[in-house]
Amino acid sequence: MALLLWLQSQLSSCWSNISVLGVFLTVFTLLFDFMKRRKKWSHYPPGPVSLPFIGTMLYVDFRNPHLSFNQLHKKFGNIFNLQNCWSNLVVLNGYKTVKEALVHRSEDFADRPYFPVYEHLGYGNKSEGIVMARYGHVWKELRKFTLSTLRNFGMGKKSLEERVTEEVGFLCSAVNSEEGRPFDLRFLVNNAVCNVICTTIYGERFDYGDATFKKLLHLFENSLNEEAGFLPQLLNEVPILLRIPGVPQKVFRGQKAFMDFIDVLIDKHMETWNPAHIRDFTDAFLKEMEKGKVAEENGFSYNNLRLVTADLFAAGSETTSTTLQWAFLYMLLHPEIQSKVQAEIDKVIGRERSPTMKDQASMPYTNAVIHEVQRYGDVVPIGLPHMTYRDTKLQGFFIPKGTTIITNLSSVLKDEAVWEKPNEFYPEHFLDANGHFVKPEAFLPFSAGRRACLGEQLARMELFIFFTTLLQKFTFVLPEDQPRPREDGRFALTSSPHPYLVRAVPR
Ligand code: HEM
Ligand SMILES: *[C@@H]1O[C@H](CO)[C@@H](O)[C@H](O)[C@H]1NC(C)=O
Ligand SMILES: *[C@@H]1O[C@H](CO)[C@@H](O)[C@H](O)[C@H]1NC(C)=O
């Protein structure tokens, strides 16, 4: 009996030890979490209450983020804070705020957050590509090289414009072979835009029916989809989860396959490379790599070659192709605008000659329509994330170094204080009283400042040449049996139209 009592007392003291330890650990963890989430600065932007561990992640529906953000914007104003687990985010809304950050304090806002989720693709502190690179020497060198190489230097005989013009010829034949039947433009336009990037970077174009090409585009689409949703966000915030064997491979299967594809294209270049005959961007990059140690320190390494070209592909194809899909959708919905564009094409270019970039200056209406497509289509609604490079101030708020910044480009392109009819398709936003083209400063679909889109020149060229050439050859009409297409977008990182069918009637 005594033994039993003794045992019981031992057991219960053990239990109480465990529960004391438990309570202690819980208090400690909560305190640690509290310290991590605490904002010790005065004048930090306001925001919703942050919960233990997850911060404010529950306030945001990652599949439909804009809906949640609307409410937060109403409640807290143009500058508000959020917290993903332990990292701080600040959201900027409206032309005035975004411009002040990106243009007037360009360097303060020029950094990017680090993305551990991409480490399995070879992204790391020594090789970051361009799009997600931290602000600094290597990013500057790679950006400078890429801009000058794309600017028609250093890519062999064929200029960028020739590549675009050649591709639109193939696109027109493909559209023509639909013979005025209803079809979904999306696939052909996407193929054509991807081909422009492909020939520019890898010197290779694919026939639209090509099996390899279909596979590439499919992989690419999957890899974009893998970025959306709660799980990738969480993995990024709690990178230790990525160390669980198999997790990155499982969650990011498409991205991995896409990179494998790129590796094949690059290996092929390395085998056939000839410094006297530079065929494309990859060749130009390889030439830079040959320069040895200094070049390597400036970021010209094999791993960066993979990442930079993957970046150009990712940043340059979906954005441009989606913008064109919006363009043709708006032409369906506004036939009177389509006719005015065609009248201008007939007057300035005629029906025979191919449009060139030189024509743009004499086509204010067409130019205004393309700009309005970009404004109203709002293809990259919240831009790419930035990060503060040093402590900074914005409209009286203090924002510490290392804060992730979301620039709401949508709120700039639809800012009621700037645009006459922000929520309508209205090309006159870009025309003055005399019908001359004007570009309001709040036109920021490519963002602004040091991190602004590097492909703007190529994108402008593609939009103008594709759009005018197709409207020169075809009139786009809604098939009789089809409902009027929706005007609202489907939001991922880009906002694209819901699928629609169209008839391309030869003119
Ligand atoms: C209509 C088409 C396009 C749109 C709307 C667009 C828009 C954007 C936006 C909003 C950003 C983020 C800027 C920021 O962080 O503040 C960006 C970055 C970038 N874009 Fe584009 N883009 C387009 C086409 C292209 C093309 C064709 C290319 C490639 C040739 C390209 C390459 C890049 C790169 C490399 C960056 C990252 C720049 C950096 O971090 O330094 N884009 N783009
Ligand atoms: C961005 O601005 C648009 C338009 O003002 C708004 O609907 C959306 O919720 C905003 N998104 C964010 C992230 O603040
Ligand atoms: C790279 O740097 C970031 C931030 O400076 C750090 O969190 C990360 O662990 C580093 N990654 C590697 C692979 O060294």
Q: Domain ranges in the chain?
A: 39-506
- Mean pLDDT check: name the lowest of 310-314, 341-345, 356-360: 310-314
With a 6 Å cutoff on the Cβ, whether 383 touches ligand 1 is yes
Distance from Cα 503 to the centre of ligand 1, integer Å: 31
pLDDT at 154 over 60: no
Per-residue model confidence (pLDDT) at position 4: 58
Q: What is the band of 10 on the pLDDT scale with cuts at 50, 70, 90?
A: low
* Backbone angles phi and psi of 333, in degrees to 5: -75, -25
Per-residue model confidence (pLDDT) at position 319: 95
Q: Are 347 and 363 in contact (CB under 8 A)?
A: no
Q: Which runs of consecutive H residues, i.e. helices, occur in 238-317?
A: 247-251, 253-272, 281-289, 293-297, 302-316
Give the number of whichever ligand sits closest to the CA of residue 139.
Answer: 1
Pick 39-506's CATH classification: 1.20.1260.10, 1.10.630.10, 1.10.240.10, 3.30.465.10: 1.10.630.10
- Name the percent of the chain lying above pLDDT 70: 93
Q: Which residues carry a binding-site annotation for heme?
A: 453
Q: Is 89 helix (H, G, I), strand (E, B) or coil?
A: strand
- Residue with token string 């081909």: 195
Distance, C-alpha 112 to centroid of its chain:
13
Q: How far apart are CA 228 and CA 233, in angstroms?
A: 8
Per-residue model confidence (pLDDT) at position 156: 64
Q: Considering the entire predicted model, what is its pTM?
A: 0.91
Spell out the residues 6+ positions from residue 342 whose beta carbon is closer than 8 angstroms to its own: 471, 472, 475, 507
Q: How many Å is the Cα radius of gyration of the chain?
A: 26
Q: What is the DSSP letter of 177?
A: T
pLDDT tens digits, 263-318: 998 999 999 999 888 889 999 999 999 998 999 999 999 999 999 999 998 899 99
> Best of 125, 127, 128 to mutate for ligand 3, by most ligand atoms within 8 A of CB?
125
CA distances from 261 to 167, 316, 321, 404 (A): 22, 17, 21, 32
Q: Are 458 and 150 in contact (CB under 8 A)?
A: yes
Per-residue tokens: 373: 């497509």
Mean pLDDT across the stretch 67-90? 86
Mean pLDDT across the stretch 480-489? 90
Q: How far apart are CA 338 and CA 327, in angstroms?
A: 10
Per-residue model confidence (pLDDT) at position 27: 82
Distance from Cα 114 to the centre of ligand 3, integer Å: 8
Q: How far apart are CA 191 and CA 206, in angstroms?
A: 8
pLDDT tens digits, 376-432: 999 999 899 999 999 999 999 999 999 999 999 999 999 999 999 999 999 999 999
For CA atoms 231, 235, 241, 246, give the dihedral sign. positive
Per-residue tokens: 360: 């743009």
Of 472, 128, 192, which is closest to residue 321 (Cα–Cα)? 192
Distance from Cα 62 to the centre of ligand 2, integer Å: 14
With a 6 Å cutoff on the Cβ, whether 447 touches ligand 1 is yes
Q: Is 387 helix (H, G, I), strand (E, B) or coil?
A: strand
Q: How far apart are CA 248 and CA 254, in angstroms?
A: 11
3-state helix, strand, coil in the chain (%, to 5): 55, 10, 35
Q: How far apart are CA 154 and CA 200, in angstroms?
A: 11
Q: Which runs of consecutive H residues, i.e. helices, occur in 38-94?
A: 65-76
Spell out the residues 6+ positions from residue 423 whose beta carbon is closer than 8 angstroms to its own: 414
Per-residue model confidence (pLDDT) at position 1: 55
Per-residue tokens: 254: 């498409």
Distance from Cα 314 to the centre of ligand 1, integer Å: 9
Atom of ligand 3 nearest to the CA of 125: 1
Highest mean pLDDT among 28-32, 291-295, 436-440: 436-440
Amino acid at 298: N
For CA atoms 482, 484, 486, 487, give the dihedral sign. positive
CA 169-327-501 angle, to 5 degrees, is 85
> Best of 61, 411, 418 to mutate for ligand 2, by most ligand atoms within 8 A of CB?
411
CB atoms within 10 A of CB 159: 14
Beta bridge partners of 497: 489
Per-residue model confidence (pLDDT) at position 209: 86
With a 6 Å cutoff on the Cβ, whether 380 touches ligand 1 is yes
Q: How far apart are CA 500 and CA 192, in angstroms?
A: 18
Distance, C-alpha 360 to centroid of its chain:
26
- Mean pLDDT check: name the lowest of 3-12, 226-235, 300-309, 434-443: 3-12
Of 120, 63, 133, which is closest to residue 253 (Cα–Cα)? 120
Q: How far apart are CA 14 and CA 313, in angstroms?
A: 61
Q: How far apart are CA 504 and CA 185, in angstroms?
A: 9
CB atoms within 10 A of CB 173: 10
> Best of 114, 198, 319 to mutate for ligand 1, by most ligand atoms within 8 A of CB?
319
Distance from Cα 219 to the centre of ligand 1, integer Å: 21
Give the number of whichever ligand sits closest to the CA of residue 406.
Answer: 2
